[in-house]
Amino acid sequence: MKRTPLTWYRGGGLSNLLFLTPMIIVFAVFSWSPIVRSFVMSFQKTNLITTSWVGLDNFENVLTDPLLGTAVVNTLYFAVLALIFGFPVPLLLAVLMSEVKRGKGVYSALAYLPVVIPPVVAVLLWKFFYDASPTGVFNTMLGWVGIAPQPWLQSSASAMPSLVIEATWAAAGGSIIIYLAALLSVPPELYDAAEVDGASVWRKVWHVTLPQLRGVVFIMLILQVIATAQVFLEPFLFTGGGPNNATVTVLMLIYRYAFQNSLGGNYGEATALSVMLAIVLAVLSFAYFRVTERWSST
Amino acid sequence: MSDTDRGILSTFDRRGRGVRAGMSFVHVLLFGGLVVAGLGPILWLGKAAVTSTQDTITQPIALWPHGIDWANLTQAWFEVHIDQYFLNTVVIAVGSWLFSLALATTAGYGLSVLRPRYAGILNGAVLATLFVPSVVLLVPLYLTIVHPPVGQSLLNNYLAVWLPAAANAFNILLVKRFFDNLPREVFEAARTDGAGPIRLFWSIVLPMSRPILGVVSVFAIIASLKDYLWPMLVLPDPAVQPLGVRLPAIQSQVELDVFLAALAISTIIPIVLFLAFQRVFLRSAGLGGAVKG
């Protein structure tokens, strides 16, 4: 049959379009075109009135910015610390919580509560907890066990770990719930079989539970890396990047280029750095999935 | 041995004396730890909200304040104009919620049930945005708000928050997957009875989709309450800013006790929502991990 406007209309073409148009418009304006524009703008210089092509100038300027190295190292440091603090703890808690028979809901709710608190509130509250004077909340607690007051956010050595502790506290609940869901799907027969072979509790955890969680753990790891590579709120509100640039992250640098520039926003350099970060993350995720795929299949 | 909802420990393990003692110890430690870490900061904030500055500074972890200072709360609410920012927060969250829900359901219905020829391409284009880290969007999206394709600048206009929030591929994916699993026979039956696409959507598909609508609602509202950078950028006028954006600015202007009261007030909406819809929250959180993979 020949397709004419009439057959299109009779086939429900108009109502199809009616349902899909909102999505097409909203995505075109607020998602697809900004993504394309981001790549285009990284080769341009613009002051919103006139725009000119500048080739690779933006990339060159960003790469020669003396702060970039610091920001990259800080971001990596944050990501690594977040993995060390924030990865084993939720996993361990989830495994323990899954063995609780009564009141499971209460445990889950308690663990998830910090996730519900708006991050701004959490950061501002923790900023008070981190008060460096001996009467600060955490310093008082340390005093109970005889540890001297810590400078927390005030020193460049302890500022980043302090940020990560708060970020871990804020995010752990979400990971715990995801691991709990994954633990429910471990087939009970596997434990039965392990017991027939005379496995102890620890051997069951090590040889059955953890291998069964492998898929979820791999995904959570890469998602966490992607999220921490874009960390902004904690350094921005806790320390503003200080002390001594010890907590300047890549996204803070992007923010400074675009929105805290006294000479007007340097949108070209900001997008150039965002594009580079996105490419690094894409390459990293791709390589990661190739490698973990091999591990998962063996 | 054939206990179907067993975990790592078998019923036999649980009878062992060592394991029993160990588990009781773990329970106490786990429960204590979760109460201190999960509930502790919130209870502390609740106490600090009605304690005088002097008291909070000199004895931050005293269990009970020396006299309750209710004035903190009223001062924060009326003099610091938390009332205004609270209202802004609600308006922003409700708007983001309605726009997200409307877009995700219509798009999900179009892509899953109506499925025109171009649905495959559209679906791919939506999915592709999931792989783009949000940092890429920041600057160009901001410039889109300053100079939208039609009309005036959207700065200080709530549409600047609502519409980008609705352009969420994850919500559409969730709804589409749910619609994909609805029984097709019901749709066929409704069509034979003469229901058009709009009626099918409104009277058949939506009522069958309560669970997923709850999940998308939780995602949309919580994302809106948690967001900071984006509303800060596109709502520069303090009069229209939500609580989250105002709080850091307020900090330097008011006394500590009033500020902590303001922080406490800001946690009320999310905590009440969480307590009221706990199951949907926890289900959404579990789902987040499952689908993101």
pLDDT score for B1: 43
Does the CA dihedral B268-A227-A207-B284 come out positive or negative? Answer: positive
| Main-chain dihedrals φ then ψ at residue A183, nearest 5 degrees | -65, -30
Closest CA to B41 of A151, A82, A121: A121
User: Given CB atoms, is A208 within the 8 Å cutoff of chain B?
Assistant: yes
User: Given CB atoms, is A49 within the 8 Å cutoff of chain B?
Assistant: no
Contact indicator for A215, A221 with CB cutoff of 8 Å = no
Please, which pLDDT band fits residue B220 given cuts at 50, 70 and 90? very high
The CA distance from A296 to A298, in Å, is 6
Interface of A with B in 52-91 (CB under 8 A): none
* pLDDT digit string, tens, across residues A175-215: 999 888 888 888 888 888 888 888 888 888 888 888 888 88
Please, which pLDDT band fits residue A297 given cuts at 50, 70 and 90? low
Mean pLDDT of chain A: 87
Q: Write out the two tokens for A32.
A: 């697809």
Q: What are the angstrom distances between the C-alpha of A77 and each of A62, A83, A158, A221, B133?
A: 20, 10, 12, 16, 20
pLDDT score for B60: 77
CATH number belonging to domain B75-292: 1.10.3720.10
Contact indicator for A217, A86 with CB cutoff of 8 Å = no
Beta bridge pairs of residue A44: A53
* pLDDT digit string, tens, across residues B75-92: 888 888 888 999 999 999
One-letter-per-residue 3-state SS of B37-89: HHHHHHHHHHHHHCCCHHHHHHCCCCCCCCCCCCHHHHHHHHHCCHHHHHHHH
The CA distance from B13 to A206, in Å, is 16
Interface of B with A in 62-101 (CB under 8 A): none
Contact at CB, B290 and A278, closer than 8 angstroms: no
Contact at CB, A19 and B109, closer than 8 angstroms: yes
* pLDDT digit string, tens, across residues B155-202: 999 999 999 999 999 999 999 999 999 999 999 899 899 888 899 999
ipTM passes above 0.90: no
The CA distance from B25 to A99, in Å, is 13
Whole-model pTM? 0.89
> Quick one: average pLDDT of B142-157?
91
Interface of A with B in 88-127 (CB under 8 A): 93, 95-100, 105, 107-122, 124-126
Provide, as residue numbers in chain A, all residues whose Cβ is less than 8 Å from the Cβ of B38: 110-114, 173
- Give the domain ranges of chain A: 5-41, 57-297
Contact indicator for B5, A99 with CB cutoff of 8 Å = no
Contact indicator for B289, A220 with CB cutoff of 8 Å = yes
Closest CA to B42 of A139, A135, A117, A93: A117
Alpha helices in chain B (DSSP H): 11-15, 17-34, 40-49, 53-58, 71-74, 82-109, 119-130, 138-146, 159-166, 169-180, 184-192, 197-199, 210-226, 229-234, 243-251, 256-276, 278-292
Nearest-by-CA chain B residue for A194: B8
Four-way CATH pick for A57-297: 1.25.40.420, 3.40.190.10, 1.10.3720.10, 1.20.140.10? 1.10.3720.10
Q: Write out the two tokens for B38.
A: 């999960």
Contact indicator for B221, B238 with CB cutoff of 8 Å = no
Residue B8 has pLDDT above 50, yes or no: yes
Nearest-CB residue to A274 (from B135, B270, B293): B135
> Quick one: average pLDDT of A25-34?
94
